[in-house]
Structure 1
Amino acid sequence: MAGHLRQPPVSVSMEAVVQTALDRGYTAQGEMFSAGDMALLAEEVTGWRAELLSGGMRGDNTKAVLKHLVDGQPVLIPYDEDFNHEPCQRNGHRAHWAVASGVLLGLDQGSVCREHTQPDPTLPWLLLPQDSPSHPFPTAGIREAYILAKQGKSLRYQLWSLDKVSESNAQLRDIDPHRAGDGTQYMLPKGGVEAGLAGQVVLLHNGGQTQ
């Protein structure tokens, strides 16, 4: 899904993604419990430069994630997926990955520079960034934030509260006990699910490989 966001889009089959992950030892059954391994895999199969962001999605990391999305670049986020694909809190028992590719910010009136925005044709109160190499990011006046995200099994994009995504991402601690006891081998990083996923996201940059 992230590859399709490149210009021009990068088309890579799911079979190729899984086979690359198997060949590199990142997965055994298609699972991906390490954000670090996901970053390496994403670089190899999409050509994006991957940056691993740790320490949760709060504080300074909130601004980093939002600015990345405002600049039109995707973020890979591990979270617990509810039955409607939205974020929930299940201690990591329903851990999945989503691709975030956009952001909707609720801002105080007057906090946006009109020079760099244009009103939506049908919703004049909705301001869209003008096409530019780097959209100016509002540093103040943000009251709420939603991200435009999609999970692989979902048929459509959804708007998720950034707070709920952050809470779900932070509490990824354990593998589902049913999976842990089913006799199937899974690739778990040292320290388990919590060490591999909790409080971590992958920022994908349109450019070359990591130095």
Structure 2
Amino acid sequence: MPLNPEMISPCAPQESPVLPSGAPAPQTPIVPSPPPLPPNISDLTFPLPNGLAAPAPPPPLPPPPPARGVAPPHVFGLEKSQLLKEALEKAGPVPGSKEDVKRLLRLQKDRFRSDLRWLLFCADLPSLIQEGPQCGLVALWMAGALLVPPSGVPLERLVQVARDRGFTAQGEMFSVADMGRLAQEVLGCQAELLCGGLGPPNRDRVLQHLLAGHPLLIPYDEDFNHEPCQRRGHKAHWAVSAGVLLGVPRVPDFGYAEDPELPGLFLPVPGVAHQPPPLPEDSNPGLVYLLAKQGKSWHYLLWDYEHVRESNQQLTDFSPARAADGRTYVLPAGGVRAGLCGQALLLTPQGSSH
């Protein structure tokens, strides 16, 4: 791919990362430069709309036989770590994306309003456990399964090219712009640098991207349970989102089917054109959830969109603990604020019209 450095326009550092109301956010094209299943799926139900009563659960079934033919998650460094091997053996087979998401919905059913219908859009992502500070490259590797099917590219190649280009020393990635350049070079995909945060006016752009089945790379501060938090960038981490859960008053007229196991949950019918759903108003929180994966767990995570937005918007400082650990890290000019704050990466396969 020919280089055109004049087209590269990374986000400029700002004293306040929040854009003035109504101002358009720059969205810059980047061109490369130098678990066992629940015991009974019927005893945990999604909230029922309109006050409908759930049917009485049937008697408990005997435990299912061990699953066969289910591929384990990819675990980088597995051959060198007995601890990882033991953890993987205890975890059992990894469910598919929709089964894993349904597990989340059952566990967190109290979070969702029962007077709404819920629409689930979720693309299949593999899992990969990171070794060292490689969360960004692991997130990009996961996204590669959607961008370079069927299996993406080896993580080792992403790491090597990132080092060769001077983007990383230990596997860390503190620049969304550099991540986009790496994605374009190694995965051959389209990469769009999103500046100005995940809120308006970028919010609908992000949601439409996820509804189309494309991956989104998001830097955020990671709490102890992998949830987004606010630590001023001291816990900076990366995740990849490839799905969204929307709460809507009514389901579009065609192309959706209610899940037989979770009343109130609707999914697009595979292979059938579906009507685009209405996007919840930004002023009505708690109706949009991102489905994400990151390099410290092989399960999906379900995050309130506003919590992700707030965490992404306050990434300003390099971790004092890392600054004092004696290792070398690559930071962009302007530091964490310039490289990560209020930014995300929209990735689409080469030639995609979306």
Cα distance per residue 1:76-97 (max 9 Å; x no partner):
0000111111111111011111
Query: How far 1:162 sits from its partner (Å)?
Result: 0.5
The answer to whether the 8 A contact 1:56-1:200 is kept is: yes
Cα distance per residue 1:118-161 (max 9 Å; x no partner):
22222231121244578614145674100100111212111011
Count of equivalent residues = 207
Aligned residue for 1:28, secondary structure, equals coil
The answer to whether the 8 A contact 2:253-2:275 is kept is: no
Output the amino acid matched with 1:158.
L
Q: 1:122 corresponds to which residue?
A: 261
CA 1:147–1:38 in 2, change beyond 3 Å: closer, same or farther?
A: same
The answer to whether the 8 A contact 2:252-2:275 is kept is: no
Separation (CA, whole Å) in 2 of partners of 1:160 and 1:177? 27
Separation (CA, whole Å) in 2 of partners of 1:11 and 1:20? 15
Higher relative contact order (CA 8 A, sep 6+): 1
CA 1:186–1:136 in 2, change beyond 3 Å: closer, same or farther?
A: same
**Aligned residue runs from structure 1 range 197-208, under 5 A:** 197-208=340-351
Cα distance per residue 1:8-52 (max 9 Å; x no partner):
323322221111100111111111000000111122222321111
Query: How far 1:206 sits from its partner (Å)?
Result: 2.0
Q: 2:320 corresponds to which residue?
A: 177
Q: 2:239 corresponds to which residue?
A: 98
Q: 2:170 corresponds to which residue?
A: 29
By percentage of residues, which structure has more strand?
A: 1
CA RMSD of aligned residues (A): 2.0
Contiguous gaps of at least 5 residues in structure 2: 1-141
Q: 2:278 corresponds to which residue?
A: 138
**Aligned residue runs from structure 1 range 48-87, under 5 A:** 48-87=189-228
State the percentage of identical aligned residues.
56
Contiguous gaps of at least 5 residues in structure 1: none
Aligned residue for 1:72, secondary structure, equals coil
Output the amino acid matched with 1:179.
R
TM-score, structure 2 length as denominator?
A: 0.55
Structure showing greater radius of gyration is 2
